[in-house]
Amino acid sequence: MNIETFREYCLQKKGVTEEFPFDEQTLVFKVMGKMFALSGLERVPSQVNLKCDPERGIALREEYDGTIIAGYHMSKTHWNTLFIESLPQNLVLELTDHSYDLVVAKLTKKLKMALDNL
């Protein structure tokens, strides 16, 4: 999967925006203002950081040693870095959905209602 396909997938999800809050190279995807994915566009090969359940994150790092690592410049407990060009596309999409769902689950009631009304 390339970064453009990843971007298109993220943007089709409900309530998602893209921003460059840190610099011109770090693309951040947010749902209702809360970050669920980011990518350093200058990184080769393409990499994305996604939130992940801590236990699942450890298992993924063991199973996909070297292509899924602890989150680069992120909480190593809650974030993973994926080398998306080296992983099956369906896995990247599944983990993107997982990250999105984790963030949505933690939204306030007010934000959840706003998301439901989009």
pTM attached to this predicted model? 0.95
Q: Is the dihedral of CA 83, 43, 57, 12 positive or negative?
A: negative
> Nearest to residue 47, comparing CAs of 103, 11, 95?
95
Length of the chain: 118
Segments making up each domain of the chain, as ranges = 3-110
Q: Tell me the pLDDT band of 75, cut-offs 50, 70 and 90.
A: confident
The pLDDT of residue 107 is above 90: yes
Instruction: Yes or no: say if 39 and 66 are a contact pair by the CB < 8 Å rule.
Output: no
The DSSP output letter for 65 is B
In whole angstroms, what is the distance from residue 97 CA to residue 50 CA? 9
The pLDDT of residue 89 is above 90: yes
The pLDDT of residue 91 is above 90: yes
Q: Tell me the pLDDT band of 41, cut-offs 50, 70 and 90.
A: very high
Taking the domain 3-110, which CATH number applies? 3.90.1150.30
